[in-house]
Structure 1
Amino acid sequence: MRKFTIKLVFLFFTFYIVHFTFYISTTFAIVDPLLVPNNRFGIHIIQATPQESSPAADLVNTNGDWGYITVLVESKDRNHNKWQEFFNDLRRRHLIPLVRLATQPENGHWKLPYEGEEIAWADFLDKLNWPTKNRYIIIYNEPNHAAEWGNKVDATSYAKVLDKTITALKNKNGDFFVLNAGLDASTPYQPPLYMDEVSFLKQMEQAVPGILNRLDGWVSHSYPNPNFTGSPDDYGKGTVWTWEWEQEILESFGAKKKLPIFITETGWKHAEGLKPNKSYPSVEKVASYYQKAFTQCWNNPQIVAVTPFLLNYQEPPFDQFSFKKHETKLAKSETQSIDDPYFPAYRVLQDFPKASGRPVQEVKAELLKGEIFTSIVAGEAYMIDLTFKNIGQSIWNDREQVRLVATEGGQNFGITNLELPKNIKVEPGQEYTFRLNLKAPLEMSARQNNVYKTTLNLFEGNRQFDSKPLESETEVKSPVILKIKSSLGWKNNFAGNYILTIKGATGSNIQNIKLDGRGMSDAIEARYLLPDYSFEFSLEKPFYKPSKITQTVSAGENTLNFGSLKPDIFSVLLNPKELWKLLPFSN
């Protein structure tokens, strides 16, 4: 827990910060993060940029996967495009965000949320496509410090804001996983500027009975006090074990369940910084402290994430918490062969063996183009393009290979599984087209209706996508027979060669047609046409204007009547020799 005397200094500088596997649900509802493989390692960052997410991923995902970051978003920074791109970056890097809400700093303290701000937060946060199904939201920060809550400690006010914010978020989307503001366990009882954690929680419960039971998880600021330099062997309140002491407090207030624990702030001051302070432990000693804490204290199965404060901070008062060295100190080392930009604590945590996390993600697709035809011709082969859009949270092919599978009826048409090539990844919002080969049965039964049901769905490995399967019924029919009918303006004899162009669901087709003197063709078996589908037909003859019709064709005989083709006077004038052939007496 950060010592309360540092808070006012922090606020001054804040003005300058730019700031299931085991269970799957397709409904809006949070998932217990401890029911799936979970990598508890994380880090606290300041800026929502790749410059921070990249080294964060290297830290928490080396020897593991899907670690955590804690990041702050201020009310003035509700920029959809910025945060969506950042979330997309986290998705690619396999980082799970713990998003802490903040208002705005003003005159050395954080402003209170304005009336109805919970609605603005819910609207903004719900429009983002999150990297995981659980959308972790921390409702503000250390309100038992006046400087963090409108310059006056007010547990009643915070409890009411927390209650309204939980309601607004849950009403918008049940996937919001709501967490309390971490409290400073080392703060004394000195109202109106400070209030100890027990008194603060007691007043919260009195103001909104049952408020603590509305939480989905518990945020702890388990700092090693005093002065952020305590031993990892110290035990109880105000130590790295603060989270455990807080669980006892919650039980004393009648907590109905054991909440998953998120230690979003913890860490030691070290001797290095812009102004070295040898009264603090050395960076090597701090690294050994982290080693012991993660091994002996923060390894409890109730703990979901530990995100030490802080990856990178280059100025006082937090440069002595930073895992990254100051850039000016790196510059002084240019004459050396190699200078690690990070302090030993970074490398110690990076080298830790970690779990390969498997957070639940929504895996969904939407069919944009293409269909399984409702009627086809017996014995014909078809090539069908099906274009799917990724409307979920996962990146296709990021975990396991994605396949298009006929879960029902595929054997009737010889449909085989189609794989998304391993070298292709499809992010949310992107599309991919599968080319499906389908062969209609050669024989038709006279005793049944020849209707076959087919169900297609996408799979990630052995897991079926959450989206609704593509279901269709296809009837196998006899082929379409075409008879072409037309005439020629100014002419009595319509015999000759014509060009028939067809466009429709099966693509385009061009073929030569012969009409007799009466303007009729022989019967043409058009096996490439789909019975009961509409096609665009165009009939052409040199030096005549084409005639176009749209017609739904049926199995069996269909007459296409193009009417009279009119002479194309303009093209004839450019070819005078053809004029004679168009005149009536040229028959």
Structure 2
Amino acid sequence: MKSVLIFFISLFILMFYQATPLLAVSDPLAVPNNRFGIHIISASVDESSPSASLVNSNGGDWGYLTVLIESGDRNVNKWQEFFNDLRRRHLIPLVRMATYPIGDKWKAPVVGEEEVWADFLNNLNWPTKNRYVIIYNEPNHAQEWEGRISPKEYAQVLDKTISSLKQRSNDFFVLNAGFDSSTPHQPPNYYDELRFLTEMNQEVPGIFNKLDGWATHAYPNPGFVGSPNGTGRGTVRSWVWEQQILFSLGLNKLLPIFITETGWKHDEGQQFQANLPSIESVSDFYINTFQGAWSNLRVAAVTPFVLSYQSPPFDHFSFKKWSDNSWYPQFEAIKSLPKVSGKPVQINSAKLESGEIYSSLVSGESYQIPFSFKNSGQSIWGDGNKIELRIINDELRINTAVSLPEDQKIEPGQLTKFSVPLTAPKSGIYKFYLQLYRDNKPFTSDGWSYNTEIKSPVTLVVKAGLGWKNDASGKYLLKINSSTGETIIEAVLSNSGQSEPIEARFLLPDYSFDFTLSKPFYTSKTVHYMVYSGTNTLEFGSLQPNIFSVLLNPQELWNLLPFSNKTTQPCELATQPKNC
């Protein structure tokens, strides 16, 4: 009766605190959230692949994955590749910090360890905006803290680690170490959780208000074989009892609950244990609890322990059979449960690598403006989302959008190109705004703004001569190179070596271009000019004859020579002797 009373009092407290907003970076419960998850041992595709199959099944997306990182395994390249794999599979990592084992104990963290952890974790591009970090494990067990128990020491370590992480980024979503709520008070090996939490708060007053969420180990005790309907301390609802304690110690906000460890022992493993529940019973327990105790709206994630563990002491918790690559019924049971398609907040940002809306355009001219962007955020562009580049001008009522092709997926660090159409108005100065959108929402990175003046077109006059020749008349090719590409037009020069004005509407006023003039059997010549609205004269000087190009063509060779300026040609070079 007492436990039932405590349970309802706790529920009342939780309901009362519903009005208190969460002060975390991004409330995972404020968006569609898939609470299904799993605890893994190995950061590998062998475990991430079946994990995604398990937690993102039957309507689910973006489930959770609890994974341990030891201090000796802080390899940025390794973990970035694993995070990239989780990003592709839509899995949210809950990273539990760990030191390293010394015999049958775990080393306690050393002074300054929090700074090393913060630098390492901050160097990773996480799959979601919230970077979930669990600060060590069950410190009310001496085995987890180098053979000793110290609530004061853990409170200090937690406080320093929170500060170090938050100094690097406010996106770190910090969770406490999950406690063993069932452990008896038997120092120096075990410490009652209530006493432990109380002494933590005495050492660092308000320490629990610095957390963003609450990690809990809601094992069904006693013996990991308790009822799926249990209430109170040491049950699948341990977190309700823990929240009651935290509120009594001054917690002033409602923390999302992360059940990072839980699960039942089953009878199958390397050694069959008839005293444990059958695999069919455990399967039913999971269904009952996911639909009951763990369906509470405050529960953000449930990651049962463990996906695959093939030897004692945890083979009886394993979802994967030790004898082959198949799964126990609990895997398929959880897989079949209806799930939510999660929509975790991700940072959508881009770096403009090349391209601009030009500072001057020609009135009435249509352009295809090229842009190149690098994905500098967390999401994969085109992975179940619509990515658009928009050019916006409210005055002209322009809102032109170009979508990323459906067959493209652009991961963080990769480049993609857009070509945006824009037709210049008749006149004036305008401000254009460039922004990327995901599913009609602007990226978190700032957009780009440009001031553009509409001008009259550029007109070109080409002036050139021909070496050894008095008459420069004829057809020439004018090649124009710019950042947007290459254009070739024909220029007809008079005998004085000057063309008629050529309107070049495709040229941008006040921009520089390379102009190359060419004529057969003459060496091309390139000049560099900034052009302006109105008439621009391009002075090429003389194009010199290319003798080597006509050595096997006597007629053209003659035409290049200075003698060809005369009206007759010598018979020895004539191609038709009858004309001599």
> TM-score, normalization: structure 1?
0.87
* Shift in Å, 1:143: 1.4
Q: Distance in 2 between matches of 1:507 and 1:242?
A: 67
Q: Distance in 2 between matches of 1:69 and 1:95?
A: 6
Q: Distance in 2 between matches of 1:219 and 1:354?
A: 22
* Shift in Å, 1:310: 0.7
Q: Distance in 2 between matches of 1:237 and 1:141?
A: 18
Cα contact 1:513–1:521 (8 A) shared by 2: yes
Q: Unaligned stretches of 5+ in structure 2?
A: 1-22, 566-580
1:422 is aligned to 2:406: yes
Q: Out of 403-412 and 55-64, give the one that drifted further.
A: 403-412
Q: Which amino acid aligns with 2:417?
A: T
Q: Out of 395-404 and 278-287, give the one that drifted further.
A: 395-404
The equivalent residue for 1:431 is 415
1:58 is aligned to 2:42: no
Q: Out of 175-184 and 421-430, give the one that drifted further.
A: 421-430
Cα contact 2:265–2:317 (8 A) shared by 1: yes
Q: Distance in 2 between matches of 1:493 and 1:409?
A: 55
The equivalent residue for 1:476 is 454
Q: Which amino acid aligns with 1:49?
A: S
Q: Which amino acid aligns with 1:325?
A: K
Q: Which amino acid aligns with 2:231?
A: Y
Q: 2:518 aligns with which of 526, 529, 540?
A: 540
Q: Distance in 2 between matches of 1:70 and 1:400?
A: 26
Q: Which amino acid aligns with 1:454?
A: F
Q: Which amino acid aligns with 2:334?
A: L
The equivalent residue for 1:582 is 560
* Shift in Å, 1:69: 1.0
Q: Distance in 1 between matches of 2:36 and 2:397?
A: 50
Cα contact 2:392–2:434 (8 A) shared by 1: yes
The equivalent residue for 1:245 is 241
CA change 1:29–1:434 in 2 (3 A) is farther
Cα contact 1:410–1:454 (8 A) shared by 2: no
The equivalent residue for 1:408 is 393
* Shift in Å, 1:412: 6.3
Q: Which amino acid aligns with 2:454?
A: V
1:384 is aligned to 2:386: no
Q: Distance in 2 between matches of 1:327 and 1:512?
A: 79
- Structure 1 residues 253-292: aligned runs within 5 Å: 253-292=249-288
> TM-score, normalization: structure 2?
0.88
Q: 1:511 aligns with which of 480, 485, 489?
A: 489
Q: 2:360 aligns with which of 368, 375, 379?
A: 375
Secondary structure at the aligned position of 1:323 is classed as coil
Q: CA RMSD in A?
A: 2.2
Cα contact 1:409–1:452 (8 A) shared by 2: no
Q: 1:551 aligns with which of 508, 511, 529?
A: 529
Q: Deviations over 1:318-363 (max 9, x none)?
A: 11001111234x6xxxxxxxxxx22122222112222221111112
- Structure 1 residues 8-407: aligned runs within 5 Å: 30-63=25-58, 64-328=60-324, 341-407=326-392
Q: Distance in 1 between matches of 2:432 and 2:475?
A: 42
Q: Distance in 2 between matches of 1:218 and 1:574?
A: 88
1:494 is aligned to 2:472: yes
Secondary structure at the aligned position of 1:535 is classed as strand
* Shift in Å, 1:214: 1.1
CA change 1:493–1:406 in 2 (3 A) is closer
* Shift in Å, 1:504: 0.7
Cα contact 2:355–2:372 (8 A) shared by 1: yes
Q: Which amino acid aligns with 2:92?
A: I
Secondary structure at the aligned position of 2:201 is classed as helix
Q: Deviations over 1:484-541 (max 9, x none)?
A: 1223334443333322110014421112322233322221111111111111111223
Cα contact 2:62–2:92 (8 A) shared by 1: yes
Q: Deviations over 1:432-472 (max 9, x none)?
A: 3222222223x44xxxxx12332232222232222222322
Secondary structure at the aligned position of 2:295 is classed as coil
Q: 2:500 aligns with which of 476, 500, 522?
A: 522
Q: Distance in 2 between matches of 1:565 and 1:494?
A: 10
CA change 1:42–1:412 in 2 (3 A) is closer
Q: Distance in 2 between matches of 1:248 and 1:321?
A: 29
* Shift in Å, 1:188: 2.2
Q: Distance in 1 between matches of 2:484 and 2:292?
A: 66
Q: Out of 467-476 and 96-105, give the one that drifted further.
A: 467-476
Q: Distance in 2 between matches of 1:572 and 1:430?
A: 50
Larger Rg: 2
Q: Deviations over 1:362-411 (max 9, x none)?
A: 12222222222221222222222222222221222333322233443495
Cα contact 1:409–1:455 (8 A) shared by 2: no
* Shift in Å, 1:266: 0.7
The equivalent residue for 2:572 is none
Aligned residue pairs total 542
Q: Which amino acid aligns with 1:196?
A: D
Secondary structure at the aligned position of 1:327 is classed as coil
- Structure 1 residues 559-578: aligned runs within 5 Å: 559-571=537-549, 578=556
Secondary structure at the aligned position of 1:472 is classed as strand
Secondary structure at the aligned position of 1:281 is classed as coil
Q: Distance in 1 between matches of 2:490 and 2:382?
A: 46
Q: Distance in 2 between matches of 1:540 and 1:298?
A: 78
Q: Which amino acid aligns with 1:386?
A: F
Q: Which amino acid aligns with 1:175?
A: D
Q: Out of 541-550 and 45-54, give the one that drifted further.
A: 541-550
Secondary structure at the aligned position of 1:298 is classed as helix
Q: Distance in 2 between matches of 1:87 and 1:395?
A: 13
Q: Distance in 1 between matches of 2:272 and 2:395?
A: 71
Q: Distance in 2 between matches of 1:210 and 1:297?
A: 29
CA change 1:533–1:580 in 2 (3 A) is same
* Shift in Å, 1:250: 1.0
* Shift in Å, 1:216: 0.8
Cα contact 1:132–1:362 (8 A) shared by 2: yes
Q: Distance in 1 between matches of 2:24 and 2:230?
A: 38
Q: Distance in 1 between matches of 2:450 and 2:298?
A: 47
Secondary structure at the aligned position of 2:294 is classed as coil
Q: Which amino acid aligns with 1:58?
A: S
* Shift in Å, 1:572: 5.3
Q: Distance in 1 between matches of 2:317 and 2:459?
A: 81
CA change 1:29–1:379 in 2 (3 A) is farther
Q: Which amino acid aligns with 2:44?
A: T
Q: Distance in 1 between matches of 2:519 and 2:196?
A: 90
* Shift in Å, 1:220: 0.6
Cα contact 1:412–1:440 (8 A) shared by 2: no
CA change 1:474–1:412 in 2 (3 A) is farther
Cα contact 1:408–1:456 (8 A) shared by 2: no
CA change 1:512–1:406 in 2 (3 A) is closer
Cα contact 1:270–1:286 (8 A) shared by 2: yes
Q: Distance in 2 between matches of 1:410 and 1:57?
A: 48
1:452 is aligned to 2:437: no
Q: Distance in 2 between matches of 1:162 and 1:42?
A: 25
Q: Which amino acid aligns with 1:357?
A: G
